[in-house]
Structure 1
């Protein structure tokens, strides 16, 4: 099921306009997430909005925004006042200019979105705007309002649609000078640089994101599955700490030798990396039902189950 659109409005290039919808291009819903629970009862912790002075709970309709100017002094701003200053980009993405993609500093990139025609009308206008951007080999810069804030968005063709990437404003990007000024100027010899280049060549490959595996996410999944099965998680061995590098040239030579030795082995095995496409819902053990029998072949039980650490998780909902 496709996610709900974050924004709906119009995309406009001069006098060419079409209705569009903006969808998030990324998702965190497949990651393992936790709730806070009461250690004594196992009930979920709930948070209430309370007055800082009186301690009384405040209803949503009585909550407004305030800008802090001093201790306990706030300038109150209403929703109507915010709506009054909202710009036209609240409902329209106006393309203001076209720039080369290579000129956009990666520090300004925030997050990507998918832009598609909204409804059955306007597909022709959408195609004209998309193909115009594609033919110019540039990125279209526009403005869009999300969560009451105006953002700069960079639009570029992606297949049949458009990908819009939110950009930061200059005041949001810190200068590198305050961090890099204390880095020493080191002269690297040609031999060192050549050795380092050989290491890079041994490690070079194609960008294949399906090879990436979130090792921490996998460890979380294994931990949860073990605890649900009543298995005591094994103690983790202390990590090995590497010694200080005494001779940089020796370290480079040793690194290159290790890479050359491991490269043929990896090719000979021909082992494909584990795909990270499966989300937590597929990897976690089911509670019950038909899927349980099917998943038993995927998760191997140990020969001897250790004594459970504690009672099974409570299914009672918080009151």
Structure 2
């Protein structure tokens, strides 16, 4: 089944525009989900919408949205009234400016979407905008209204299409000082930092998201399988130790030593075996250098 678009409208760069559609770039299909069950009957629980004062059930189709202006006083809005609040960004992604990728702090990035042409007639204009973005080596910034909320978005070429990432607004970000100001000012021991840098260097590598597995989800599935098969209820991992590390320098040294042993074992395992089981020839000893008198 073809994926349904999250939004449809037009992409516009100055006087050039084309019909496009946004598709979510992420999926939660693999997540373990639960339903609330009555353990006495094994039946699912049905949630009801009830008037908080009268206790009477109200059908969802009869409900409206309310904005609380003060305690227990609301301004009521119907779905039709909300839909009638139309901005240009409800149907158009209008590119406003172009910025360098490094100028956007990672804290602003939010949800990714794929942008693709929605009609054959607009493919040529779409390709022109995509290639202009690719050659500029910049990120396009625009606006779009998704699910009744206007969002700033970043656009960049991705394969044959365009990757659109929603950006958080200024009001969404809390000042870091609220948390970091309580961290006492303290200088790190240079020798400890040097060992920590060596550990980082030994564990450095390329980013490979395919190697990330949600172990918690896997453990939940294993628990479900064991209960389904009538086995035990699974095993619980021991909680992390809360003991303070008394000798930080010794812990760093042990970590560095462990990293070295792990790399040596991995290298030995990856080394190809010699043909016929023959032992590799020992390396020739280099002649000692003569010291000048």
Report the TM-score, using the length of structure 1 for normalisation. Answer: 0.81
- Is 1:58 aligned to residue 58 of structure 2? yes
- Is 1:173 aligned to residue 173 of structure 2? yes
- Match in the other structure for 1:223: 223
Q: 100-109 or 228-237: which moved more?
A: 228-237
- Is 1:189 aligned to residue 182 of structure 2? no
Which structure 2 residues correspond to residues 51-130 of structure 1 after superposition, within 5 A? 51-130=51-130
Work out the CA distance in 1 between the residues paired with 2:112 and 2:79: 28
The one-character-per-residue Cα deviations of 1:115-165 (angstroms, maximum 9, x if unpaired) are 000022211100111111111111111111111111111000001100000
Which structure 2 residues correspond to residues 204-223 of structure 1 after superposition, within 5 A? 204-223=204-223
Superposed displacement of residue 110, structure 1:
1.3
- Is 1:12 aligned to residue 12 of structure 2? yes
* Gapped regions of structure 2 (runs ≥ 5): 271-293
Which structure 2 residues correspond to residues 29-44 of structure 1 after superposition, within 5 A? 29-44=29-44
- Match in the other structure for 1:247: 247
Work out the CA distance in 2 between the residues paired with 1:234 and 1:223: 5
Work out the CA distance in 1 between the residues paired with 2:127 and 2:238: 58
The one-character-per-residue Cα deviations of 1:177-201 (angstroms, maximum 9, x if unpaired) are 1211121222223322211110001
The one-character-per-residue Cα deviations of 1:193-242 (angstroms, maximum 9, x if unpaired) are 21111000111111001111110111111111111111122443634626
* Gapped regions of structure 1 (runs ≥ 5): 271-319
Structure 1's 40 and 160: CA in aligned 2 closer, same or farther, altered over 3 A? same
Structure 1's 243 and 50: CA in aligned 2 closer, same or farther, altered over 3 A? closer
**Partner secondary structure for residue 29 of structure 2:** coil
Work out the CA distance in 1 between the residues paired with 2:120 and 2:237: 59
The one-character-per-residue Cα deviations of 1:31-59 (angstroms, maximum 9, x if unpaired) are 11111111111011111222111222222
The one-character-per-residue Cα deviations of 1:293-314 (angstroms, maximum 9, x if unpaired) are xxxxxxxxxxxxxxxxxxxxxx
Q: How many residue pairs end up in the alignment?
A: 270
- Match in the other structure for 1:131: 131
Work out the CA distance in 1 between the residues paired with 2:192 and 2:264: 24
Work out the CA distance in 2 between the residues paired with 1:112 and 1:89: 18
Work out the CA distance in 2 between the residues paired with 1:2 and 1:219: 32
Name the structure, 1 or 2, with higher relative contact order (CA <8 Å, separation 6+). Answer: 1
Q: 4+ residue runs of structure 1 moved beyond 6 angstroms?
A: none
Structure 1's 241 and 60: CA in aligned 2 closer, same or farther, altered over 3 A? closer
Work out the CA distance in 1 between the residues paired with 2:16 and 2:83: 26
Work out the CA distance in 1 between the residues paired with 2:234 and 2:226: 10
**Partner secondary structure for residue 121 of structure 1:** helix
**Partner secondary structure for residue 113 of structure 1:** strand
